Structure 1
Amino acid sequence: MTYEGLLMASSIMEISPQTVVRSQYHIRIEELTAPSWPVEESETVDEGYRPRRGWPTIVESIFYRGRSFLPKWKRAFLASCVFGVLIDPLFFYIPIVNKDKKCIGLDNSLKGAVMSLRSTMDLFYVVNIFIQIYIEPKVPTFRVMGRSYLHTIVLTKGTILVEDALAMANRIWRISSHILIDILSVLPIPQAVILIFMHSSSLNTRKFLAFLALLQYVPRVLRIYLLCTKLNKPPARETEIWILFQGAFSFFLYILASHVFGAFWYFLAIQRETACWQNACRNNNGCQPTTFYCNGRSIRNITFPDDLCSMNPHNTNATPFDFGMFVEAVQSGVLEPTNLPKKFFHCFWWGLRNLSSLGQNLETSNYTWENIFAIFICLSGLLLVLLYLPTNLKICMELVTRTSAKMRNIQQQETKYREVLRWLSENNIPEGMEGTIMQKVDEQLEPNKDVHVENILHILPLEQKGFIKRHLCWPIMKEVPMLRVMDGEVLKEIFDNLKPVSYTEDNHIIVEGEPLVKMLFITQGILLTYTRNNDAGTTECLDKGKFFGDELLIWASKFSPFSALPISTRFVKPLTKVEAFALKANDLKIIASKFPEAFQMMRDDGTIQLMTIMTHPVHLEDGGV
């Protein structure tokens, strides 16, 4: 099919011709995925979005019409994820030990509350999966003439651009990985641990389920991190918010790890208590090992475990059971029925203390899983320290650097403020204008810029700019003899074409023997004029209120071409920093062409003025501009 055919077909299908891009046989469709309903200006149409058919269409269109819902949803989902990972360790506190009956029971009130909260948090994950599948921007579909991707390849002879395929693959992987993380996070593993815990006599089964519950923290914490980075995308230059977020996230991981390790320590302590009872049953003929579930069968003789599993055994000849790092849990009584705050804070303190000390104070038994747990605590603490300390150092350094930079900026602004006030005072600006000028200076003048008339006039509004310009230039224009015969309209045109300029020291502004291209009206500083021709005069200084280059007015009054520009007979060089207003030859020629009669009169009368200026001065009216 030819390119013209594609354009004709696109017009029939109501597709913009710009959506079909042709480069020999390479065809890309870029805008075929816009939504079919009207989109308001406040809405952003995501590339690659196409409404679906079927039952999700109504819900999808509702969500799409209010795209502002998605950022709010992500913040709510982030809050639910954080709340969820803080709730999950509470599952490990549900089992309790009944010392009198030598059995394991459940804290039913805690069980009901935690299961309800966890199920509620899981609903957020389910809704987020639905949003990612049906509402969020999708992988762009590559279609030509409404055909499928396979037909597109056939139509373009297999020349789909590589960057399109890579972009599509990258987007598929990103969306699929996020959905997979949500699916792994929503699996009801903690609920299964509690339900199977009481009905399994195998300690290995319980340990495996507990390990899965602990492992589920990886996708759940990863989801929090991905949400935070998406809501606070790191810019090219790190901001204070992003730096503080990194430190807050590291601290959150530290507190969460202490919470999880404390709860897991409690759960494993119950496991060791149960293992002690089973070991006692194997050594006693009057006992049958069971699940030790309080509502099920229990051991017949409930006194003999005290000889092995008690911290103060009645039989001193018996070898006590080595509880290792869990001896504190058995002795403190936190495994027995007690109020949740007492149990929680004791276990949380245990986790925080041992995580901070990298597990150095733990005294373990020869039980393998206990030692693995101790090693994991040590490595986790070391990892968090390596993660937390550099982040905090970076935060401190960045904050110190930024604070120093802010202080420097404040000092520069104060210095600039004083410079502006001095500039206003030196130029005799009326006090009534100072407030408006200083307000604009504070808003727009950069700290590293020098204060001079060019900068200040650039940032001022038109009315204030005209006032300053008139205040500085009008007295100087009165001193120019050939301008005294001008009427107000011509003077206003000249006045409007004056451009603020500034010059630094020791740089020639005008060179002797070169064309004179501008006339200068000095408002600040000193200009030095001199010549190499000893017969032409001595060195002169032009300070505030003086002008130079009035030969341009004679040139303009003659309507001469640029090739006849007057030649400068002197060098002009700043002795100090100079601020002035410049009237350029090009602007002056345009003004002369607009008012030829006035310049003809200026030429005729100007010669008389130049000859009689010293004896018969003529004063210019102040109302000209």
Structure 2
Amino acid sequence: MVTQGLHGGHAEANPAAVARDPVVGELIGRQLRWSRSEGSPFTNGSQQALTGAILAYVAPESRVVGAGDLVDEPKKIAVHYLRGYFLLDFFVVLPLPQVIILAIIPRSFGLSTTADDAKNYLRVIILLQYVPRIIRFVPLLGGRQSATGFIFESAWANFVINLLMFVLAGHVVGSCWYLFGLQRVNQCLQNACSVSNISSCKVFRDCGLNFDIGGQNEQISQQWVNEPASTACFDTGNDTNFQYGIYQQAVLLATKHSAVTRYVYSLFWGFQQISTLAGNLIPSYFEGEVLFTMAIVGLGLLLFALLIGNMQNFLQALGSRKLEMQLRRRDVEQWMSHRRLPEDLRRRVRHAERFTWAATQGVNEEELLSNLPEDIQRDIRRHFFRFLNKVRLFTLMDWPILDAICDKLRQNLYISGSDILYQGGPVDKMIFIVRGKLESISADGSRAPLQDGDVCGEELLTWYLEHSSTNKDGGKSRFHGMRLVAIRTVRCLTNVEAFVLRASDLEQVTGQFARFLRNPRVQGAIRYESPYWRTIAAARIQVAWRYPTRSVSKTLHERATTPSRNTKLVCGDLIDVSNDIGVHISVKLKNQDKMFDALEISKDILEYQPMCLVDPMAL
């Protein structure tokens, strides 16, 4: 309750206002909301008690081995929660300060209850409720953990939690400061009343509930308002009257009628003192004030150390990848300097490191996948390797073979200008291009473009199938010491992201699925899509065209020199002859154990190189 008198430019504040002061109710309400909001990682306020009865938990007796068993039966969950923190959570969420002040005190003690009594009850109830709140809140500072045992916090969530904790501490300190300031005003008025000639001044100092100022009481009240001793309690500029110490601003704040102003300023004061470790506070000689200042300094140090540590972890979490990249670059530079690499080679290494980091962001995908269940790994790899559907060879394969191949694929990154395969070098891998452009350079200088979805090194698959045999036990055996040599160079025109199937992994796959891979359709798909086999086929067909048998040459010469025919071949005659030559080529290649149809390839070459008006003698 605030009296309506004004004296010396100050509005007089009755300390009894603490019992029904709107700001006290607001502080208590906010205090309850803050504490309950920090009590659970998922809910606010009383929802913690509700969700605690439906959230699954891990049985303690099952934690001997592994993560334990998750109990999700509603009855067992409810019994477990009732035996656990139910009573504590229920006590925390009860609005005890409001109930006691507004209901219990008037009915139990009657209208004679003083403001001092209400203040003492309020202080006891708040302390009783804050202790269990701290018990439930402090464990969350070490990491927010769910009932299933899984950590789900992020760096930003941790930052927000610690910031809210800092604001909550400022709220508590500011509320205590305002309450203790009113107590000091009450003490000053009590001292003034003891030396005053007004006998009933105690009634106006601590008027209790529903005190009515009227009649003679109003006249006495005016005398008390104008009493120099009581007026001096609100003159904070004169320290000779009463030593308020750190509560001088609280005395002036108590004269404000706006509850919002009083709460916001109290919150600001608490936040400021925690942030500055009470560095600007000079307490009086009152013991309680000194202890309160010491508590602010200790709380500020604790929160400051905790906040700095958490902020450091937060910033490290945000910049951990960048720091890791910087350390990696420094190590690479030191290594290149130690090995005295030439500048051109150093430039290529730096380019490769930058491209690798940009593509992977420093994440080891294989290590990440290895910790997941097998079915999730399989589905993730299928998602990664959807580009395999663009390859005609893999459209003929079943999922077991594709899963076996996907399990062996590893990501590789190549920078512009790199040679994935080089002529005369070993072919020790199959490369599936995901992104980028390459070119295949044959021995004669011909070039074939390669891009997204293409495959190079596919001749290794056929080579493994051809150079394998079946032993007496039915197992696969290899010819050791034999290696496939590349007859072309595959060069990167841009930065290339690709997946690589190593020779050792390919050998395992061909050993497991040899019967399927020997299917003529699969073999035909391999050779039809392969630039390697296309180059070989074109070379052999050109040889067969330029060096036909004598009988075929004689037939061509006779047809061309017949008087009834033109000296130039027509397209129909050439097609007939091409069929004869195609049969000759297919027989010749069949003798060399080549399993593709040269007749079809010869027709393709005729379509690309029409020879309808070619002199037969030029063949």
Larger Rg: 2
Please, what TM-score do these two structures have when normalized by structure 1? Answer: 0.47
